[in-house]
Each structure stands twice: as C-alpha cells, then as structure tokens.
Structure 1
Amino acid sequence: MKSVMRVMLSILLILLFVPQWSGEARLPLLPRNAAVKATPVVLEPGNPQRTQLGGLTFLGGVALEGEGAAFGGFSAMMVDRDRFALLSDGGNIVSFTMGADWTPRAVRFAELPAGPGKGWRKQDRDSESLTTDPATGRIWVGFERANAVWRYERGFAHAEAHATPPALANWSSNGGAEAMVRLRDGRFVVLAEDRKGDAAGTVRGILFSGDPVVAPRRGFAFSYRPPRGFKPTDMAELPDGRIAILNRRFALPLTFTATLTVVPRKAIRRGAIVTGREIARFEGAVLHDNFEALAAVQEGRDTILWIASDDNQLFLQRSLLLKFRLDR
C-alpha cells in the first residue's frame, strides 16, 4: 500500500510542478556542456583543388559535430563578422565565434525562450526561417505548422511579440514560412516551401510592408518559380539589394541537391511571377546535402555567402557550414 501511495504522490508532484507535461516525449534539448568539433571539407572530394562552382568561389568549409541527439537539424542562421548562430528546426540554438582557422570558440548551446504551443513537441518549435534587424538586434523566426512569426530581443533574450498573419493561415503544416528575410527598407519577404503560387511550378510568396508581427495584414502576394523540381529553403538580401534564394531538391533513397538563384528586388510586385537567375548548382561530384540555411555578409568589397545544411539528425548526413564568394 505504501508503494502505491508513493507512486500516486509522484504523479501528483509531476502534475503540480510540470503543468505543461502532456504525456508525450519532451523535445530533445542540447546538453549544457557545449562543445563543437569542426572538420575541414573541400568543395569536391575527388578534386580538392577545385574552388569554382558557377558564379561562386569556394573559400572553405567545415562539417560540424556536437554532443547530444539534439545537435544538428540547422534550418536558419545569422552571421555577423566572426559570430555565428545556427537555429535548428527544433528550436535549438548553437552559437560560436570562428576565425580563419575554422575553429569554433566561445561555443554556447541554448533554446528559443518561447514559441508556439507549449514547447514540448517538435511541432511546437518547428523553426524554419530567421531574419534580423542589424540596427536593433531584433530577431524574427518563422514557424512551420503554426504558420506564425515570432519576434525576439537581441540574442534571443526573450520573446517580444508574435502573430499568425492571415496570408499564411492556409499554408500547409509542413510547408510554411520556410524562407524569410527582412529587407533593409523594413519590408519582409516570406516564401512557402510547397504552398502553390498562381502558376504551375511556383510557390506562394508574401511581401509584408513592415514588421509582420506588428502589421500582419499589410502586404501583398506574389509567386516564385524555383528551378524545376526544387523548393526554396532560405534567402538573404545581398549588399546590392538583390535577393539570393537557396533551393533544394530531394530524391529517393536519400539524395539532396541544391541551387542558388538571385532575383532583383524590384521584380517582387503584387501578383508577379518571379523567376531567379541560377548562380550555382550543388550536385554530382561537389558537396551537396540538405542545404537549408543561407546568410549574406560583406567582407571588404566581397559579397560572402554562408550556406549550412540540415542533417535531419541522421548519421547518413552532415551539418555542413560552407563559405563562398559571390562573383556575379
């Protein structure tokens, strides 16, 4: 009888002190003992001297490894000089500094402080896109399944506000705000992964005239036509105002290829069908994986693109972080 009472007391304590527990397994979190190993990679394993890929010059890259089952799954990132923050599609954040020696330092593991739902399931923290305002440090994250946008204070210190824009309401649970960018003029562009646009082979895009958290109804729809068979996974505004879009294609049994396209900002108009100019294609002998994260920075006169992959937390894939110079 005493053992039964102890079990009942334990259940009562769980209900009292963990009120959000739903009986489902907790979303995996990163361990507190942050450590990241970076192994250098080459653009073409069989030809280590190769650096050119279409309109890109390969400047180096690493395969990242970390402790814990939650490491990886990177779907978005921020880069500010030598500071990196990678966001997984489970709400986990890996941040570090890294210089010319490609060694991660000051590594920190964390998780989003808030988001849709209770945060216990992956569906609650399916964070797929990220963009920032360099002037304020604010960060916006797009969530699939919830079709919501949340805004966070600098460094993800806490959540400030959130909204579920009506324009995203009927996007599929697995094809929501896959790519999002805040333009320097304060407007936001969001691309769906699989919500069909107004023509065959296109996906839906939304241009918000301001912060989608503050004014979720202000903006217009357009369509983006990725290269045949591909879907957009991330985008970034280039220093010259053009928008670079990362696109991915999946084929069985487990093969991911990618392309990088560039579109003029002025091409994004109400009801327009926007087609990008292909810059480079990741397939065949060169490195290719589930590329989902893209960031653009400027180093001197050079436009630098960083690309990261989502390993789906599978041993068959890798968490790659690659650096390129955009040549055209």
Structure 2
Amino acid sequence: MKIERIEDLDNLKYENFRFQIIEDELIIKNIGENYEIKFPLNEKRRVKTAESIEKLTGLKLRFSKLDGREVTSYIESKGFNKSIWSLAGKAMCDYNMVEEGDRIAVGVSGGKDSLTLLNVLVRVKMITRVNFEIIPIHIHPKQKSIATNEIEDYCKSLGLELIVEETNLEDILFGKDKMKNPCFMCGRMRRGILYRMMKEKNINKLALGHHKDDIIETFLLNTFYQGNLGVMKPRYMSKEHGVEVIRPMAYIEESTIIKYARRIKLPILKSECEYETSKDSKRLEVKEMIEELSKKSENIRSVILNSIKPLLAD
C-alpha cells in the first residue's frame, strides 16, 4: 500500500486490524483477538513504524517519497557494510567509475541485480560530494503482461523518475523464425536501445547490474566454449557508441545480493523469460559447477576473480 504519511492510515481496516489516529498516536486494534498496540506519531521514525506495522499486521507500506536521511537508512539496512557497500566503493574507486558531472543511465530490468545497483548509486550520491545524475531506464517489451508500476513508484520514493521505453523485441526474437538461443541477441538489442536513448539524452555513462559471479561465469564460458580469454570488464569505453560502461557491483557476490533484496523487500518484477532457467543453458551449467566448487573452497570466487584481474583493466 502506497501512502504519503502514517496519518493516511486513519480509519483503515485491514483483515482483523483497524487503524486509528488519536491525538499524537497511531492505535492498531486487533478486532478478533481484542488487543491494541500504540505507536507515537514521529515523522523521523515513520520508516521504522512502517516496518513494525508490517511485522505486526502483514500490511506492506511504501511511502511515495522518502527524504534523504530516510533513503540512506532504508538502502543501507543492517549487516551489508562489508559485503556490499565497502566492496561497491572499492570497485568504483579501483576503476574510477563515477566522476563529477557524470550523467549515468542505469539499466533497470526490475530484477534483484539492477535494483540493488540503483541503491548502490543512490547511496554514493547521498554520502559523497561527487555531483552526478542517475537516470534509471527500463526496456519493456509491449507484449509482457507484467506492469511497471511498482518499480516506477520505487524509483519515485528514491527521488528518481524511471524512463520506460516500450519495444517490440518479443516479435523480433520469438516471432515466426524463433531463435534457438536468443539470450545473446536479446542482450545486444537491449543494449543498443539503451545506447540510442543515452545519445538522445546526452548521457555519458551506462551502469549495469553485473556482479562478481557474472564476471567469473562469463570468463569460464568464454574459456570453455569459445576458446578465448574474453572478460566482462568493470569499466570500459564503447568506442562504437561513445559511452562508458561501468559495473559498480563487480566485487559483490550474487548470494549477497539475494539476501539484501529479501531483507529490504525490493519490488522485483517476476521474469517471464523461459530461457533464464533453461536446462540447456551453458551459463547455468557453469554456475552450478562454481557452486559445487565453493562447497570445498569457500573463497573459490575470489580466487578466480583475483587470477583474472590483469584482464579486467582497460
């Protein structure tokens, strides 16, 4: 439920609960079990109050817009300083990803990776003195049934406007001449749309949500099946399109992103792509292999990444 203020809950009925605002208190009554809980109305603690309400009643609240302090508090959550924020900061520092005056497009698919990336960049903008712009862009196939309302509202709560670009990718990729494995072409075409929009809007950098596992898997896929040492670089210049591509989550493991997305309840769009979990996927095969190796060696991902670091430089 989207609200402007906690006061908007006055006289709301939700399942067995009734909400009332009396003077400076929010009173939640459980009609069935005949008890009530009171919360003081405090604008500085409204996010914490909303979290408590969800735990108590199951009612999920989202504020239409958060102030700067609330945004930082919400994004950071607890327990991710070393596993997300420090690693993202190190990657951005190592490869000088964000600079004064940058206009950075963020490819927002609506999945856990792109939404976490958005939070990473918003946090950097909030806590540093670097002046840069964040422009979230969502490429949305016209044929998809899922709505984009939730991620649009989410971006607004962070003080950003999501640009939604509708396309006919479904017709091209899955029309009469359906491709056997369209993933590469799909990614390439989406990237092409982003590059076009960036040129139109004078945007100089593109941030993508690829993480540590993506970089390792891509390297191994190229090694095993293409016979080359191609890598997914944390930062590189696309000479063809005249823009820089950055990957601020290059040092962050996918398992951490999954935990973070669940912790802060990111509004993830459910994927309708049948190829993401295909048993014929070579990437899934490599992912499972790495997972098996990690059971014997916990640091296997870091070992592989460190071994290919010379290949990641510009």
Give the TM-score taking structure 1 as reference length.
0.29
Structure number having the greater helix percentage: 2
Bigger-Rg structure (1/2): 2
Structure number having the greater strand percentage: 1
Give the TM-score taking structure 2 as reference length.
0.30
